[in-house]
Structure 1
């Protein structure tokens, strides 16, 4: 997920009826997130630059996820982020079983840019490892969360992934909506406990 500071405070909830995921849309107040070393004008300029660049790309985030997932049949997107330093690209991490792949998808052509980086779950840090393992057991996928977030925030997603906050696992999707960035938190539906199996 990009570490962008978001501007105004808006909290709203939407329900995905098909999966039961709850979306919480927030644009954070700059007084809560502003760094003491970076002036607010620089933050605003960075956000405007990223939004301007993002609006010109031809490949939406959902397509970039699908492109990366097709590289390894059966893989799921763990996280994705738009980057505009140099040529605009999406950085995508996918997972299948014990393997993790990192790819860069060109945001204009949809082609793979640069070399793929492959690793195993054992090579990940503790937090990443916990999120990747949890992702294997969540029925909802990041692509589902992106669709909900884009509808909830009325915009286009430019980043997404899993985060653990206050002991709860949530999808977080950053959406470009007008001249603002909105952070959408989605709590994956809880898996119902199954009763005993009768044969």
Structure 2
């Protein structure tokens, strides 16, 4: 697989990452609103105020920004800007606003071709023995393993693209894992020896012997 293609697959791992969202309820400030004439009147004249209860809530774009509007019938309406970075919807006597968590930040991403018996690092990316996270072990020509090193951990799970959120809660082990359990197309969660959550995709395993393992990976901050 070409390097550019592997880099693209590595970067695509971010698509599975989702941040958790927090919701808050913002109530309209009044149960009812009073509307009246405030201009001075000559003697003998008076006004009857109009009092209306909350009749409608809506979210409306005003000046390019979403505004929360509480309507009190013919008494008028009051409004405020929606909280920064939130998505709001009308909900009874107020608004339910959901703020998304900050998008995951990538520490390192790319593609690696790892020959058997070599080690590799997923913090900064590279086939190296210095600070390596995993070792591509060849016990025999057919018994091939990925072995965590230096405190790194690995978790195969269901081999789906779980992203940062899924891999953060995945069960992981320091035990070696058979390459036979990671066929081409598998996504594998891991945690590096520096404590970062990472995920790699098995892009290819070369035929013949010795073998080369090709992966695309993303490691998050």
> TM-score, length-normalised on structure 1?
0.27
Q: Which has the larger radius of gyration?
A: 2
Specify which structure has the higher proportion of helix: 1
Specify which structure has the higher proportion of strand: 2
